Structure 1
């Protein structure tokens, strides 16, 4: 098997609320709405994040995103009003841990 792309998925209880939070995180509206209850951000040609309305499973997802500058990402998130404790050591890199409104974990990782 050869993996050629990745779509991370977060399950949420309120799609409108989640859309606002993820739009703030990514600095833009979703790139697509492929079906009812699903929105997507295409982050690279081969990677993206899906946010799926599934109240019974909401809050049980983790998404790890590599970023080029953790400090800049943390500053941008603070300016946008996204709560976090700032960059911290993690797994040989530095990380910023975030929780969406349902408690899904989003981890930004980089130098």
Structure 2
């Protein structure tokens, strides 16, 4: 499989509340308001997260975002009013923090460091 772009969806019941929370998470307004029911943030050259109004599916989305420095990202989030969450040690070289939006969707932020033994 050759993937050129990935779109990940987050379903919310109240679009305005959801968009406000994700604007705080990303530190900016959506990069692309698609229509009256969804908006998208560009996460990288080939990855987009979109938030859409879908009350039936709201609260059951799970997304994981890999970052180079988990502590820095958590500090950014805290500076934008998103409460700190516990950090879980997943493996010897991976840590993650799982944030929960107002609908109960889970956004995990994970840092995977190069194993020092492999260096």
State whether TM-score is above 0.5. yes
Structure with greater Cα Rg = 2
Structure 2, unaligned stretches of length 5 or more?
Answer: 114-119
Residue 108 of structure 2 corresponds to residue 107 of structure 1: yes
Q: Which residue of 2 is the match for residue 22 of structure 1? A: 22
**Partner SS state of residue 11, structure 1:** strand
TM-score under structure 2 normalisation?
A: 0.87
Moved more, 79-88 or 15-24: 79-88
TM-score under structure 1 normalisation?
A: 0.92
* Backbone CA RMSD of aligned residues: 1.3
Shift of 1:87: 2.6
Structure 1, unaligned stretches of length 5 or more?
Answer: none
Shift of 1:68: 1.6
Paired residue total: 111
**What is the alpha-carbon distance in structure 1 between the residues aligned to residue 16 and residue 76 of structure 2?**
22
Shift of 1:80: 1.6
**What is the alpha-carbon distance in structure 2 between the residues aligned to residue 27 and residue 78 of structure 1?**
11
Q: Which residue of 2 is the match for residue 97 of structure 1? A: 98
**Partner SS state of residue 58, structure 2:** coil
